[in-house]
């Protein structure tokens, strides 16, 4: 059925066009979970075709929702988290939700204040890549006290009963370290990340893989860094060691990039003398002077799947099982380990 440009499109028009109930169309618009995938797809396609514009004020009042979700990440300048935000937006935009993005700057106190601000704005749900110490649960308790659904992304908290979407960090450590061993490396150093589940898991995978291969970790071969600059200085110290490492596994791509800068400045060849691998497959990894081998975490998929879990939790009053989604890491071998 056609609609003239001057005639406002109503829910019942869409329902009549598709031979479904007004309630079904309303549920799709509101993001409810109990609509079949095929029907939801048809309704969303017709909404797009007709450029249907809901009355957001009336919709919010009727549904008792704001149709906003909050996304808190520790570093928006890191393309890994920017890609997660992209995935979140792609998943929620067709359902009429908006996302409010906050940057905690890896600061637990700032994160807590951002959570309070978003709760004050009555967001319908939260997605959180938390910078809290592993033993700190106060922020999550405040969210739960308000009855707001939330999903943890990238960083896990063993004692927090909440859905989680992220990569298997121990597997990341194993894959990266085994790749270096397979390339003939025997003196493998590690630039470790912060004492969060990501850093702890990757270091554990690194240490276990070396042990399984009968290789030890010499004293001083594990250094800590949080970004490319601190990794640059940490690597300069590694290069002074005797014997010098023949490979470096960076906690993430920025730390690996900082390591490469220090190695090349010292006149040491990559990969002939030292091989380097990172984690994240960030957008510049293949554009570096020596393209960086890395572990892809499927960051956009993390955002999409986390948003999907959250929207379903918002759309139902029933208590849903705690869901954990572990994304399989993928090795991307480039020139830095060839």
CATH of the domain at 315: 3.40.50.2300
Question: How far, CA to CA in Å, does 101 sit from each of 9, 115, 138?
Answer: 31, 11, 21
Phi, psi of 283 (to 5 degrees): -60, -25
Least confidently predicted of 106-120, 254-268, 274-288, 306-320: 306-320
Q: Are 140 and 151 in contact (CB under 8 A)?
A: no
Average pLDDT over residues 279-301: 89
Query: 174: Cβ–Cβ under 8 A, 6 or more apart, which residues?
Result: 205, 206, 208, 209
Structure tokens at 190: 């590690």
Asked whether residue 144 is assigned to any structural domain, the reply reads yes
CA distance 104 to 168: 23
CA distance 152 to 130: 7
Residue 299 CB-half CA count within 13 A: 19
Nearest-5° angle of CA 122, CA 27, CA 12? 120
Q: What is the pLDDT of residue 73?
A: 96
CA distance 142 to 11: 37
Q: Name the one residue in this structure whose structure tokens are 């490319």.
A: 228
Q: What is the pLDDT of residue 214?
A: 97
CA distance 127 to 148: 11
Which domain-ending residue is among 27, 45, 62?
62
Nearest-5° angle of CA 223, CA 228, CA 232? 55
Q: Are 300 and 86 in contact (CB under 8 A)?
A: yes
Asked whether residue 188 is assigned to any structural domain, the reply reads yes
Asked whether residue 5 is assigned to any structural domain, the reply reads no
**With bands split at pLDDT 50, 70 and 90, how would you rate the model's confidence at 76?**
confident
Is the domain of 195 the same as that of 87?
A: no
Average pLDDT over residues 186-197: 93
CA distance 179 to 337: 8
Is the domain of 101 the same as that of 158?
A: yes
Is the domain of 38 the same as that of 158?
A: no
Asked whether residue 104 is assigned to any structural domain, the reply reads yes
Counting the structural domains of the chain, the total is 3
Q: What is the pLDDT of residues 122-166, one digit of tens each?
A: 999 999 999 998 888 899 999 999 999 999 999 988 889 899 999
How confident is the prediction for the chain on average, in pLDDT? 89
Asked whether residue 6 is assigned to any structural domain, the reply reads no
Q: What is the pLDDT of residue 118?
A: 95
pTM: 0.78
Is the domain of 216 the same as that of 286?
A: yes
Closest by CA to 103, choosing from 131, 83, 139, 61, is: 131
**With bands split at pLDDT 50, 70 and 90, how would you rate the model's confidence at 13?**
confident
What is the residue range of 44's domain?
Answer: 11-62
């Amino acid at each position: 059925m056609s609609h003239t440009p001057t005639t406002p499109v109503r829910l019942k028009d869409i329902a009549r066009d598709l031979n479904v109930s007004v309630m079904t169309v309303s549920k799709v618009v509101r993001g409810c979970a109990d609509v079949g995938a095929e029907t939801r797809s048809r309704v969303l396609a017709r909404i797009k075709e007709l450029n249907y514009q809901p009355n957001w004020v009336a919709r919010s009042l009727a549904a008792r929702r704001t149709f906003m979700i909050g996304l808190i990440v520790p570093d928006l300048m890191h393309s890994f988290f920017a890609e997660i935000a992209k995935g979140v937006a792609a998943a929620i935009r067709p359902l009429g939700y908006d996302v409010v993005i906050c940057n905690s700057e890896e600061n637990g106190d700032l994160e807590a204040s951002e959570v309070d601000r978003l709760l004050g704005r009555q967001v319908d749900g939260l997605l959180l890549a938390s910078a809290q110490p592993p033993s700190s649960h106060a922020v999550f308790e405040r969210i739960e006290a308000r009855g707001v659904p939330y999903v943890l992304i990238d960083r896990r908290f063993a004692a927090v009963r909440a859905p989680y979407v992220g990569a298997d960090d121990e597997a990341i450590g194993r894959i990266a370290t085994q790749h270096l061993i397979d390339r003939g490396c025997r003196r493998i150093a590690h630039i470790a990340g912060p004492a969060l589940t990501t850093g702890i898991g990757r270091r554990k995978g690194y240490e276990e893989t070396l042990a399984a291969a009968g290789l030890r970790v010499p004293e001083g071969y594990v250094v800590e860094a949080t970004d490319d600059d601190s990794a640059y200085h940490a690597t300069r110290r590694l290069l002074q060691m005797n014997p010098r490492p023949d490979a470096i596994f960076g906690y993430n791509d920025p730390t690996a990039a900082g390591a490469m800068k220090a190695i090349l400045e010292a006149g040491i060849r990559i990969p002939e003398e030292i091989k380097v691998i990172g984690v994240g497959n960030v957008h510049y990894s293949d554009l570096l002077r020596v393209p960086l081998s890395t572990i892809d975490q499927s960051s956009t998929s993390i955002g999409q799947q986390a948003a999907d879990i959250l929207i379903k939790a918002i759309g139902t009053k029933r208590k849903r099982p705690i869901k954990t989604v572990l994304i399989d890491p993928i090795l991307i071998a480039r020139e830095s380990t060839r």
